[in-house]
Amino acid sequence: MYPLHREREQPIFSTRAHVFQIDPTTKRNWIPASKHAVTVSFFYDANRNVYRIISVGGTKAIINSTVSPNMTFTKTSQKFGQWADSRANTVYGLGFSSEQQLHQFAERFKEIKEAARLAREKSQDKMDMTNPALGVAAPQVSCVAYLLQDLSEDLQSPPMCINGPGEDKLFRSQSADITLSSEKERIKKMLSEGSICEMNLEAELFTLQDSNAKLIAALHEANANVEQWKKQLAAYQEETERLREQVAELESHGGGHGPSDLLKDELTQSLEELEALLKAKDEVLYSVFQEIRILQSKKSNFQELEQERDEAIHRLQELEIRNVELERRVQNAEQTLASSLEDRDRTENEIQRFIEILDVKIFDLNDLRQSLVKLFDK
């Protein structure tokens, strides 16, 4: 298969790169199409007047993409670029060994895309110049049919007419073919843009969900710490009150029947330590409340992010509905194109049959003329 393509196609530019394709399931991850760097080339098909990007790994073509004016090559990093091929329903990615190779490939991609646009316009102009010729040729065939009809009246043969509706149908089918092709390209471009927008929205949604999970985890952790500090603070307060009551009771009993001064000093020192610890806990608790306020403000920002996420999901759903509608339109266009092609083939067969009948009638007229010449000679 590929040698035949190489015989009729001429390579324009070649480079080496690692080839990737987008994961058809997630539309986010890249799948390596080659284990190592392979040759990626631009080819020009002179017979079909199209430009293609081809890369072969072993005996299998890992890239076979026809360049259209609607394609765009995007540099996503210093050594990586990608483009979407709506016909192959995939996104190709190329990883280069240097930034210079990526720049050369991107510039050549722009040149090839412009050449493809000029080739398409030239092809459409050529088709527009070809279609009026069918209308000019029709009166000549009509004159021949009229002469044949006039000459065949003596032989009582039925009149013939091979012009008009058949060729008008052929002209209309070719015009419909051109219109449907341009409409199909436009719809495919819209589908490709919708797929890229869908990938961006999915990435934005994934980022919002990740931020949401982190904020919720931080808020739960802060709430758990606050509850723990509250319990410890209540326990220290109870202990402080109990020691104060003991000190007050000991001081009230005073004199020789009271506790010793050493025990009183120990209790006072323990009370001071507990008060210092309580003060430190209060400071920690205050800082925790400050963090909670910060997290609550972030939570309000998160609610805004959730609202943006809901809007992004809504836009994504609208794009999916639009993609379904565009796919339906593409299917209808393909069916209409197939019907037009069938009508054109049927018309061509009918014209060919009329031409064969015309040849037979002309042959019979030649025989008649020769017979008349012989009759006059006699």
- Shortest CA distance to 53 belongs to which of 62, 45, 63? 63
Helix pair 261-377, 165-253: axis angle to 10 deg: 180
Structure tokens at 377: 């000679």
Phi-psi region of 77 (alpha: psi -120 to 50; beta: other; left: phi over 0): beta
pLDDT at 2 over 90: no
Q: Which tops the pLDDT comparison, 258 or 63?
A: 63
Distance between alpha carbon 219 and the CA centroid of its chain, in Å? Answer: 38
Say how far apart CA 231 and CA 224 lie, in whole Å.
11
50-57 vs 60-66, strand pairing mode: antiparallel
91 strand-pairing partners: 84
pLDDT at residue 4 is higher than 60: no
Query: Which has the higher per-residue pLDDT, 156 or 312?
Result: 312
How high does pLDDT run on average in the chain? 76
Which of 178-192, 333-347, 351-365 is least confident? 178-192
Alpha-carbon distance of 8 to 361, in angstroms, equals: 43
Residue 81 pLDDT more than 70? yes
pLDDT for res 278: 82
CB 79 within 8 A of CB 99: yes
Distance CA 98, CA 88 (A): 28
What pLDDT was estimated at residue 284?
78
d(CA 71, CA 90) in angstroms, rounded, equals 12
Cβ-contact 51, 116 below 8 angstroms = yes
Ramachandran angles phi, psi of 86, nearest 5°: -70, -30
Q: Comparing 63-72, 189-198, 215-224, which segment has the lowest mean pLDDT?
A: 189-198
Please tell me the predicted confidence (pLDDT) of residue 96: 94
Q: How far apart are CA 68 and CA 64, in angstroms?
A: 13
pLDDT at 154 over 50: no
Record the pTM: 0.36
Spatial distance between the Cα atoms of 170 and 179, rounded to a whole number of angstroms: 14
